[in-house]
Amino acid sequence: PSWFYHGTSCRFICPNCNPWTVKAVYRAVATDVLLFGNVANESASGVVVKRPRLSNIVIAIVLITGGWQFGQGVYIYAKAELAQYLLVAAWQETKQTQQPVKPWSWADTWPVARIEVPTHNIDLIVLAGDSGRTLAFGPGLHLASAKPGEIGNSIISAHRDTHFEFLQYLSAGDEIIVENLLGIKKVFTVSDTHVVDSRVTQIPIDYDNAALTLVTCFPFNTITTGGPLRFVVVAVESGNSIHGQLV
């Protein structure tokens, strides 16, 4: 997803959030101290003129760029975390009314499921759709895939640096709990994790049983955005279920 949809949406959720102020201060301080710190030359008129050293310019560029990247990372993470609190409230209301409830008035999505991974302390609300705007706030269900917990493959995707960062730590045998709109919880067991090239690989939708596929970009822990590689976690239903309990 582009930063174009991140820039303004945060202010609707968090009016006091202004990352640009932080970045402006960082840039001003770095420029003043590093470029003009203690380098001075006397001009022909006798006036002392501070001139930047080349090494200081290079350091300033590195720090400013690093500060910009850090600010963007904090901005995305803070917005993703705040959104989940609002999504929990919308999820509870959606279950009570059995009607789609938007987490905020201008949202074009709504909660459709909840996923938990107890061994990694993960508890996330899943949204309808997997557009860039939706994934900025939480995991999204591919609408052409099966509803979570039903027969078929439910494909859920999210960003590798926020909600689905934990995927890199999953392994075969780990359990994922999925709750649907009726409050029915089902346990899925991870059967496989692998990396695919999205340009040549398609994830199947039709399954004879209930399956769950979690997808995020790859590799993890990088500031480079985009790319064709995807990290895929495949899980299959591992047991029967009843309302609100697991058996």
The pLDDT value recorded for residue 14 is 39
How many whole angstroms separate alpha carbon 99 and alpha carbon 126? 15
The pLDDT value recorded for residue 36 is 45
How does pLDDT run across 199-214, given as a tens digit for each residue? 999 999 998 999 999 9
pTM: 0.67
The pLDDT value recorded for residue 52 is 54
How does pLDDT run across 151-201, given as a tens digit for each residue? 999 999 999 999 999 999 999 999 999 999 999 999 999 999 999 999 999
Mean pLDDT of the 142-158 span: 95
How many whole angstroms separate alpha carbon 137 and alpha carbon 162? 9
**Helix, coil or strand: residue 11:** helix
Residue 215 pLDDT more than 90? yes
Q: Exposed, middle or buried, 148 (CB in 10 Å: 0-12/13-18/19+)? A: buried
How many whole angstroms separate alpha carbon 24 and alpha carbon 54? 22
Query: Within a 10 A sphere around the Cβ of 44, how many other Cβ atoms?
Result: 5
- The radius of gyration of the chain's CA atoms, rounded to the nearest angstrom, is 23
Strand partners, 156: 141, 214
Beta-sheet pairing, 140-141 with 122-128? parallel
The model's confidence at residue 25, banded by pLDDT at 50, 70 and 90, is very low
The pLDDT value recorded for residue 17 is 42
Among the listed residues 159, 115, 117, 120, the one whose alpha carbon sits nearest the alpha carbon of residue 137: 159
How does pLDDT run across 64-108, given as a tens digit for each residue? 555 544 444 455 556 567 777 899 999 999 999 999 999 999 999
